[in-house]
Structure 1
Amino acid sequence: MIRAERLNDIVHYLRRMHQAVTAETLAKTFEVSPRTIYRDIQSLIDTGVPINGEAGVGYVIDKHYHLPPIMFDADEIEAIALGIGMVSNWTDQAFANKAQSAFKKIQATLPPLLLHELHQISTFSEPSHYKIPWEVSFTEVRECIRRKHKIQFNYLDLQDRTTQRTIWPLALVSFSPVWLLAGWCELRQTFRNFRLDRISGFETLKQSFPNERDKNLKAYLAQVEHD
């Protein structure tokens, strides 16, 4: 890693931390010596980055500090392009349009060298006939998750039995080629996963759901990890 990249990454790292970070921790993270970290921190301070602290105690950064435009390396650009291609091919048109819009904004900030690298990308995501179609609006589901609106729908299980469910939607999870809607099911009083392609009669309810500790996304992810 060249020094300019490391300095930028140190700033990002400190912004993510909620407590002071020692030079030794930074040295291990960036695989350099503590002495190098001391010099890097001083260089950042000299250029106006609001880092407070001292050697042996730890460093913190003012969270109100605004970073300059983010720069990417060639591999990061390729990863972003691949991710945007996958969004375009495996979600819906509205979300694909947002992904393409974001990528155009990123391209507009790239220097000529990285634009050249972008045109040399050799990792792609293409449309697939294995994609399983669904009737529900992918974008509407995302909005319900974001706005914490309850939803109601008919669900056809793998035994071809249909039940009506009221769900607190928490996340959309891709198990290609299947998309799952994860949420708290009022009928079963537990977390459940629902295949989008088996949902019909989808309805967004006016009622919102609270962020209860045992029914939120964090609790869902903890259960998945435990299982």
Structure 2
Amino acid sequence: MRKADRLFQIIQILRRSSRPVTSSELADELEVARRTVYRDIAHLIAQRVPIEGEAGFGYVLDPRYDMPPLMLTPDEIEAVVLGVQMVARLNDAAIRNAASDVMAKITSVMPPDLLPYIAEPAVGIKPGAAGGDAALDTRRLRLAIRQGRKLELDYRAADGTVSSRIVWPVLLGYADRHSLLIAWCQSKQAFRHFRTERILKVEILAEPIGVSRSRLRQQWQQWRDAEMGKSG
């Protein structure tokens, strides 16, 4: 690993950690000797990178420190490329387009020596056709989730029955190539998964959900864990 890449990776490791990182931990992840870590830390501090700590205790990075947003490593680039490939298989046109836009933005500002990691990545998924577009534009669902607002749905069940529901949206999830609105259903008083291609009509209500977004998601995760325990 080049020294410049190693210095950048040290900053990334410190940035993602919520506690002091020891020189041994840094050395193990970077696959270098501890004395190399000491030299690199000293070099970063000399360059005014706000790292605090000492040998034997660990190092922390001031959370206010900022770096250019697209200082990506080859591994990070290929992770993004793989993610875009996966999203391209979904049946959600809005998300697929957003992923393509992200990739175009990254490519437009990437240094020339890193472009091969985008054009010819060392990762990939099995080729296959993209899923068909969902009948519903999921941007409204995602907006309601972000704003913590209730939704009124007209929904067609698998047997063709159509019902009107008021739900508290939790998450827009994906199973294979199907998108699912995960929500608390007021009429059923339970969490339900709604296939987006069966949602005939959706209206974002002014009324907020009855609890905080984080609490609702926690309740859903507890329900999901209980359901998985039943089937295990």
SS at match of 2:182: strand
Which residue pairs with 2:190 in the alignment?
190
SS at match of 2:158: coil
Paired letter, 2:137: S
1:113-152 matches, cutoff 5 A = 113-121=113-121, 123=124, 128=129, 131-152=131-152
Structure 2, unaligned runs of 5 or more: none
SS at match of 2:11: helix
Q: Compared with structure 1, are the counterparts of its residues 66 and 188 closer, same or farther at alpha carbon in structure 2 (3 Å cutoff)?
A: same
The reply on whether 1:13 has 2:13 as its aligned counterpart is: yes
Which residue pairs with 2:57 in the alignment?
57
SS at match of 1:80: helix
Distance across 2 between alignment mates of 1:132 and 1:70 = 32
Do the aligned partners of 1:132 and 1:178 also contact (CA within 8 Å) in 2? no
SS at match of 1:215: helix
Query: How many angstroms does 1:180 deviate by?
Result: 1.1
Do the aligned partners of 2:91 and 2:177 also contact (CA within 8 Å) in 1? no
Compare 21-30 and 117-126 and name the one that shifted more. Answer: 117-126
Query: How many angstroms does 1:64 deviate by?
Result: 0.9
Q: Compared with structure 1, are the counterparts of its residues 222 and 54 closer, same or farther at alpha carbon in structure 2 (3 Å cutoff)?
A: farther
Do the aligned partners of 2:179 and 2:195 also contact (CA within 8 Å) in 1? yes
Q: Compared with structure 1, are the counterparts of its residues 73 and 29 closer, same or farther at alpha carbon in structure 2 (3 Å cutoff)?
A: closer
**Cα displacement string for residues 82-112 of structure 1 (whole angstroms, at most 9, x for unaligned residues):** 4334434525444444333322221122222
Do the aligned partners of 1:82 and 1:125 also contact (CA within 8 Å) in 2? no
Do the aligned partners of 1:74 and 1:118 also contact (CA within 8 Å) in 2? no
TM-score w.r.t. length of structure 1: 0.82
Query: How many angstroms does 1:29 deviate by?
Result: 3.5
SS at match of 2:135: coil
**Cα displacement string for residues 43-82 of structure 1 (whole angstroms, at most 9, x for unaligned residues):** 2111111011111122111111111343334454344234
Q: Compared with structure 1, are the counterparts of its residues 213 and 96 closer, same or farther at alpha carbon in structure 2 (3 Å cutoff)?
A: closer
Which residue pairs with 2:170 in the alignment?
170
Q: Which runs of 4+ in 1 moved over 6 A?
A: 124-127
Q: Compared with structure 1, are the counterparts of its residues 134 and 118 closer, same or farther at alpha carbon in structure 2 (3 Å cutoff)?
A: closer
Query: How many angstroms does 1:187 deviate by?
Result: 2.4
Query: How many angstroms does 1:183 deviate by?
Result: 1.9
1:34-49 matches, cutoff 5 A = 34-49=34-49
Distance across 1 between alignment mates of 2:196 and 2:50 = 47
Aligned residues: 225
Structure 1, unaligned runs of 5 or more: none
Which residue pairs with 2:200 in the alignment?
200
